[in-house]
Amino acid sequence: MTRLDLRVDVEAPAATTWAALTDWARQGEWMLGTTVRVTSGDGASEGSGLEAFTGIGPLGFTDTMRITAWEPPTRCAVEHTGRLVRGTGEFRVVPRGDARSELVWSEDIALPLNLAFAPGVLWSLRRFAAFAREYSA
Protein backbone atom coordinates (compact mmCIF):
# COMPACT_ATOMS: atom_id res chain seq x y z
CA MET A 1 0.00 0.00 0.00
CA THR A 2 1.10 3.53 -0.76
CA ARG A 3 0.09 6.39 1.56
CA LEU A 4 -0.20 9.78 -0.09
CA ASP A 5 -1.04 13.08 1.63
CA LEU A 6 -0.80 16.18 -0.55
CA ARG A 7 -2.01 19.75 -0.04
CA VAL A 8 -2.45 22.74 -2.28
CA ASP A 9 -3.59 26.29 -1.52
CA VAL A 10 -6.42 27.51 -3.71
CA GLU A 11 -7.30 31.16 -4.33
CA ALA A 12 -11.03 30.42 -4.30
CA PRO A 13 -13.68 30.09 -1.60
CA ALA A 14 -14.31 26.58 -0.27
CA ALA A 15 -17.66 26.29 -2.08
CA THR A 16 -16.02 27.09 -5.43
CA THR A 17 -13.15 24.70 -4.76
CA TRP A 18 -15.67 21.95 -3.92
CA ALA A 19 -17.73 22.61 -7.05
CA ALA A 20 -14.63 22.54 -9.27
CA LEU A 21 -13.31 19.38 -7.62
CA THR A 22 -16.56 17.45 -7.93
CA ASP A 23 -17.22 18.47 -11.53
CA TRP A 24 -16.24 14.95 -12.58
CA ALA A 25 -16.73 15.54 -16.32
CA ARG A 26 -14.16 18.37 -16.24
CA GLN A 27 -11.54 16.63 -14.10
CA GLY A 28 -9.51 15.86 -17.20
CA GLU A 29 -8.86 19.58 -17.60
CA TRP A 30 -6.50 19.49 -14.62
CA MET A 31 -5.76 15.84 -13.73
CA LEU A 32 -2.79 14.50 -15.67
CA GLY A 33 -3.90 12.09 -18.41
CA THR A 34 -7.20 11.27 -16.72
CA THR A 35 -10.86 11.37 -17.68
CA VAL A 36 -13.61 10.69 -15.15
CA ARG A 37 -17.24 9.77 -15.57
CA VAL A 38 -20.13 8.86 -13.30
CA THR A 39 -21.11 5.21 -13.78
CA SER A 40 -23.95 4.91 -11.26
CA GLY A 41 -26.02 7.19 -9.09
CA ASP A 42 -25.78 10.94 -9.44
CA GLY A 43 -22.07 11.35 -8.68
CA ALA A 44 -23.02 13.57 -5.76
CA SER A 45 -23.99 11.11 -3.04
CA GLU A 46 -22.78 8.08 -1.11
CA GLY A 47 -22.96 4.92 -3.18
CA SER A 48 -22.45 6.65 -6.53
CA GLY A 49 -19.95 5.01 -8.87
CA LEU A 50 -17.09 6.73 -10.71
CA GLU A 51 -14.67 5.51 -13.34
CA ALA A 52 -11.35 7.20 -14.09
CA PHE A 53 -9.25 6.24 -17.11
CA THR A 54 -5.61 7.30 -16.85
CA GLY A 55 -3.39 6.98 -19.88
CA ILE A 56 -2.69 8.16 -23.39
CA GLY A 57 -4.92 6.95 -26.19
CA PRO A 58 -5.79 3.30 -25.62
CA LEU A 59 -2.77 2.71 -23.32
CA GLY A 60 -3.62 3.09 -19.66
CA PHE A 61 -5.80 1.68 -16.92
CA THR A 62 -9.25 2.19 -15.46
CA ASP A 63 -9.77 3.01 -11.80
CA THR A 64 -13.30 2.27 -10.59
CA MET A 65 -14.52 3.90 -7.39
CA ARG A 66 -17.53 4.07 -5.12
CA ILE A 67 -18.24 7.21 -3.10
CA THR A 68 -18.30 6.22 0.58
CA ALA A 69 -18.69 9.68 2.14
CA TRP A 70 -20.25 12.83 0.67
CA GLU A 71 -20.11 15.90 2.91
CA PRO A 72 -20.29 19.04 0.77
CA PRO A 73 -18.50 21.36 0.68
CA THR A 74 -15.71 19.81 2.73
CA ARG A 75 -15.20 16.05 2.28
CA CYS A 76 -15.55 13.23 -0.23
CA ALA A 77 -14.20 9.72 0.33
CA VAL A 78 -14.01 6.86 -2.14
CA GLU A 79 -13.21 3.18 -2.20
CA HIS A 80 -11.11 2.11 -5.19
CA THR A 81 -12.76 -1.10 -6.42
CA GLY A 82 -10.85 -1.98 -9.58
CA ARG A 83 -8.55 -4.86 -10.40
CA LEU A 84 -5.42 -2.70 -10.57
CA VAL A 85 -6.15 0.08 -8.08
CA ARG A 86 -7.41 -0.94 -4.62
CA GLY A 87 -7.74 1.02 -1.41
CA THR A 88 -9.29 4.27 -0.23
CA GLY A 89 -9.03 7.93 -1.10
CA GLU A 90 -10.31 11.17 0.34
CA PHE A 91 -10.24 14.83 -0.41
CA ARG A 92 -11.03 17.59 2.01
CA VAL A 93 -11.61 21.24 1.30
CA VAL A 94 -10.51 23.43 4.21
CA PRO A 95 -11.83 27.02 4.25
CA ARG A 96 -9.08 29.63 4.71
CA GLY A 97 -11.20 32.78 4.82
CA ASP A 98 -13.75 34.20 2.40
CA ALA A 99 -11.65 33.87 -0.75
CA ARG A 100 -9.18 31.05 -0.06
CA SER A 101 -9.21 27.36 0.70
CA GLU A 102 -6.87 24.41 0.90
CA LEU A 103 -7.33 21.09 -0.87
CA VAL A 104 -6.04 18.05 1.03
CA TRP A 105 -5.76 14.90 -1.12
CA SER A 106 -5.12 11.59 0.71
CA GLU A 107 -4.86 8.04 -0.63
CA ASP A 108 -4.10 4.62 0.84
CA ILE A 109 -3.82 2.52 -2.28
CA ALA A 110 -2.11 -0.35 -4.01
CA LEU A 111 -1.51 0.51 -7.64
CA PRO A 112 0.82 -0.20 -10.55
CA LEU A 113 3.65 2.23 -11.23
CA ASN A 114 3.37 3.94 -7.84
CA LEU A 115 6.71 5.71 -8.30
CA ALA A 116 5.10 8.01 -10.89
CA PHE A 117 1.90 8.50 -8.91
CA ALA A 118 2.80 11.14 -6.27
CA PRO A 119 4.61 13.58 -8.61
CA GLY A 120 1.77 13.30 -11.13
CA VAL A 121 -0.89 14.01 -8.51
CA LEU A 122 1.09 16.96 -7.10
CA TRP A 123 1.49 18.43 -10.59
CA SER A 124 -2.24 17.91 -11.16
CA LEU A 125 -3.17 19.59 -7.86
CA ARG A 126 -1.17 22.65 -8.82
CA ARG A 127 -3.10 22.75 -12.09
CA PHE A 128 -6.30 22.29 -10.10
CA ALA A 129 -5.55 25.41 -8.04
CA ALA A 130 -5.46 27.46 -11.26
CA PHE A 131 -8.56 25.67 -12.59
CA ALA A 132 -10.57 26.37 -9.41
CA ARG A 133 -9.50 30.03 -9.35
CA GLU A 134 -11.15 30.51 -12.76
CA TYR A 135 -13.94 27.95 -12.30
CA SER A 136 -17.51 28.58 -13.34
CA ALA A 137 -20.04 25.78 -13.61
Average pLDDT over residues 62-75: 97
Model pLDDT, residue 60: 87
Average pLDDT over residues 56-81: 94
Q: Could you give the percent of the chain with pLDDT greater than 90?
A: 75
Nearest 10 degrees: CA dihedral of 54, 6, 11, 134?
A: 0
* CATH code, 51: 3.30.530.20
Q: Which backbone phi and psi does 99 adopt, to 5 degrees?
A: -125, 15
Condensed to tens digits (0 to 9), the pLDDT of residues 7-17 reads 999 999 999 99
Q: Could you give the percent of the chain with pLDDT greater than 70?
A: 95
> Using CA atoms, how far apart are residues 137 and 128, in angstroms rounded to an integer?
15
Count structural domains, the chain. 1
What is the bridge-based pairing of β-strands 86-95 and 2-10? unpaired
Average pLDDT over residues 99-104: 97
Model pLDDT, residue 112: 61
- Indicate whether 115 pLDDT > 50: no
Do residues 24 and 38 lie in contact, with contact meaning Cβ atoms separated by under 8 Å? yes
What's the alpha-carbon Rg for the chain, to the nearest Å? 14
Lowest mean pLDDT among 21-25, 100-104, 108-112, 119-123: 108-112
Domain that holds residue 56: 2-133
